Amino acid sequence: MKTIILARVSTEDQDSNSAQVTRLKDFATSKGFADKPKIYEIEESSSKANREKLQEVIEYIKKSKEKVSLFVDTIDRLQRSFRESVVFDDLRKAGKVEIFFFRENLHLHQKSNSADLIRWDMGVMFARSYVLQLSDNVKRRFEQMRREGHYFGPLPLGYLGVAEDEKKRLRGEILIDPIRGHLIQKMFELYATGNYSITTLRNEMIKLGLRTHKDKLPVRSIIDGTLKNTLYFGLAQSEQYGPYEVENVPRLISKDLFDRCMEIRLKRKKTPSKANLKKEYILGDGLLKCKKCGCSISFETKTKPSGKVYIIGACTNAKGMCKKEYVNENDFLKPIYKVLDKFETITEDVQNDLLAEIRKHSDSEIEFHQIQINRIRKQYQDIKDKDDRLLDAFLDQSITKDIYDKKHQEYADKLQLLNIELEEHTDANSEYQTTLVTVLSVAKRARSIFDGCSEPMQKRAFLKFILQNPVVNGKKLEFSMVSPYNLVLELADSPDLLPRQGSNLRQIDYIDPKIT
């Protein structure tokens, strides 16, 4: 039998590293593994090196002829993503590895029962939600910059961006293009007279000398797009955040002029487009795919001779390899309702147990979080010290101003990055618990949320949120639930799986043969 100790270490705190290794060695001995363990150390701060090291461990286990006993401090030390846990789970099922988690006092082996596997799943879920929270925070920072009126997007005709730093591709100031700026103004003014179509306006603008940045004649769609671009009066559009006012783009036209052009455009449009009349279906818009050929399932409304209206769906058969088998929409919805109803059966007890688990687990999150914060603070101080010494060296005239400037900028950049990282960690810690509580409350009310949506589009959005890979197999709908709803569902089914005092997750796709 081979023994591996896997420790997550930080470069800043050697004492705690060796304490962790000692603790795990003692733990292994107490479980009867006295032989010399192989020790792998994974650094907290480097995710790339971390993945490579984990891969090494996985390869070692795969190649080993004997079963490997793996000792880990806590679940989130081993894995921060479901991808890894799937690999470890396969090795466990094959009997190639057994895992001992010290903190959770959890032993996973080939014949582990569902209760233990659920604890593993929960641990992974908590670790993952922390990481997701971090990436959410990066998005939020961009949102913040948008709120402060910074425009990042591409510049339309009429503006020039002055690069502040060519290498880093940072854009500095945005200026009005001295050659095209006034032509854009002219274009709006001409269109506002109502005497031009897009085509005649294009001809006129070409006559006046308008060319693209590549010095080509502007095509019709450029003229059309320009007249619709609200950036010219200082309003940027963001798909995710809606319109927002920008500070760093000089105005070329007034909002009033823009609005007049829009009015003219609407008057010129004769009939409302067909797209607006398209009927929406709950399971439409590519939500369901055909299992056999991968094409979307499309829906249509039919009327019986009796006047009764019904909805049917079938594979679009775009690849020509399926046959169209029409299924009533209700038959697809039935298994979905079944699952939504099951969510509502979560008892108060299970809910409380889950919440208690979340709270307990957060202790180890907080510790991980604290390690990160300490690392960042220490790096920050180190760089600040270096910067101070650099200044001394410059004042002593032992280095030139050029060298000082260059180095100083490098340090300043690093400090800035560390600051952002620190803020992200701070935010992530305070919010990830809330995320999990939300999951529970959404699950519990799933059926009433779904029924409460009045539009098919809203219902579809909700299903997209909780269903994973819904496919149609012949006439049957098959699906699993998105994590962590899959877990909540499993607990609703068997409340006893949850340990009253344990703590901790792996991905289980929920395909219940009874409901497909």
Query: What is the Cα–Cα distance from 293 to 488, expressed in whole angstroms?
Result: 31
CA pair distance 306, 342, nearest whole angstrom: 36
List residues bridging with 100 in a β-sheet.
Answer: 71, 107
**Residue 408, SS3?**
helix
For residue 243, what are the β-bridge partners? Answer: 237
Question: What is the identity of the amino acid at 48?
Answer: K
Pairing of strands 97-101, 106-108: antiparallel
- The letter for the amino acid at 117 is L
What CA–CA distance (Å, rounded) separates 29 from 32?
5
Give the nearest distance from C-beta 335 to Zn ion in angstroms.
Answer: 19
Rg of the chain on CA atoms, in Å: 30
Nearest to 347 by CA among 497, 124, 512, 178: 497
CB of 302 to Zn ion, least distance (A): 20
Q: How far is 98 from 109, CA to CA, in rounded Å?
A: 5
d(CA 95, CA 110): 5
Nearer to Zn ion, 295 or 498 (CB): 295
Q: In degrees, to the nearest 5, what angle opens at C-alpha 146 toward C-alphas 143 and 147?
A: 90
CA distances from 403 to 164, 207, 281, 393, 410 (A): 20, 53, 65, 10, 11
Nearest by Cα to 6 from 82, 96, 73 = 73
CA angle 162-167-170, nearest 5°? Answer: 45
Question: Which CB atom, from 211 or from 291, has the smaller least distance to Zn ion?
Answer: 291
Q: Are 146 and 243 in contact (CB under 8 A)?
A: no
- Please state, in angstroms and as integers, the Cα–Cα distance from residue 483 to each residue in 335, 360, 470, following that order: 18, 20, 14
Judged by beta carbon, residue 286 or residue 452, the one nearer Zn ion is 286
313, β-bridge pairs: 299, 327
In whole angstroms, the minimum distance from the beta carbon of 292 to Zn ion comes to 5
Would you tell me which residues interact with Zn ion (CB under 5 A)?
Answer: 290, 292-293, 295, 315, 322
CB of residue 296 to Zn ion, shortest distance in Å: 9
Asked if 7 and 54 touch (Cβ cutoff 8 Å), the reply is no
Q: Least distance (Å) from Zn ion to the CB of residue 318?
A: 8
Q: How far is the CB of 289 from Zn ion (least distance, A)?
A: 8
In this complex, which beta carbon is closest to Zn ion, that of residue 288 or of residue 466?
A: 288
CB–CB of 109/490 below 8 Å? Answer: no
